[in-house]
Amino acid sequence: MRDLPIGVFDSGMGGISVLKEMKKLMPKENYIYYGDSKNIPYGKKTKEELSHICIEIVDYFIEKKVKAVVIACNTATSAAVNELRSKYNIPIIGIEPALKPAVEKYEGGKIAVLATEVTLREKKFNELMNKYKDKAEIIKIPAPKLVTIVENGIVSEREAEEAVRELFEDINLENLSSIVLGCTHYVFLKDIIKKVLGDNIELIDGGFGTALNVKNILLKMDSLNESNKEGTIEIINTSNDKSKIELSYKLLNT
């Protein structure tokens, strides 16, 4: 059981940002990363479509005999995590926008949440937002274009800068304390977002918190890998583009 792999999936390469945190925290674990670039963008799909996609992916992981599945995608978590947990008898760990730590650190402040349309409209996020609405001014900003930019490997070019400027051109940045990166793809654009908006605005994501949650769950199950060597990482991608896998490994190791 302990040496079985952990399955991690996302709509494409964004979940690599979560996998990086897991690898740092649990270097002895074996991982299978499933990037579903064929079906990107998840943020444009219905809840029913996402549910069907997620079930197919978890079925694949079950065949691979994983000991846990991590949904390294805010959109898929919002749409399907409850259904997946009721259907399978292994741990299904999701991710959600890191609004709680942002509000705890900047209570009374102004917080922007960047996410996909599905994440922002789903009941799961709106319940989270309502929980903290009296403690901070929360602004929802859908940012589907940023997903495409990362998926195409543009993480340091002018096009990315222009997309970020465009996102915030109608947003009053005065007193903005932090931005919650509510999509795992956005983590790879941190440097560009800071370049455009300045260093005074803190960027907060849920990658480390998710990795820590996975570790704690495996500890309770007595399922942490106790090997004396570094674990393996297998990356697959549903597109026919081999460069997606190459870029995924590059993002993992930078």
Instruction: State pTM to two decimals.
Output: 0.93
DSSP 170: T
- Residue 73 bears catalytic tag: yes
The reported pLDDT for the residue numbered 1 is: 80
What pLDDT was estimated at residue 98? 94
Q: Is 54 a catalytic residue?
A: no
pLDDT for position 103: 96
75 is in an annotated binding site: yes
Catalytic, out of 13, 73, 146, 164: 73
Is 90 exceeded by the pLDDT of residue 124? no
Please give the radius of gyration of the chain, using alpha carbons only, rounded to the nearest integer. Answer: 18
198-202 — which CB contacts under 8 Å span 24+ positions? 201/173, 201/176, 201/177, 202/105, 202/106, 202/177, 202/178
Phi then psi for residue 70, to 5 deg, are -110, 120
Catalytic residue among 19, 57, 183, 204: 183
Torsion sign across C-alpha atoms 197, 165, 139, 49: negative
| 210-237 pLDDT per residue, tens | 999 999 999 999 999 999 999 999 999 9
**Whole-angstrom Cα distance, residue 251 to residue 17?**
8
Share of the chain above pLDDT 70, in %: 100
Is 254 annotated as contributing to ligand binding? no
- Structural domains in the chain, CATH included, are 6-94+207-252 (3.40.50.1860), 99-204 (3.40.50.1860)
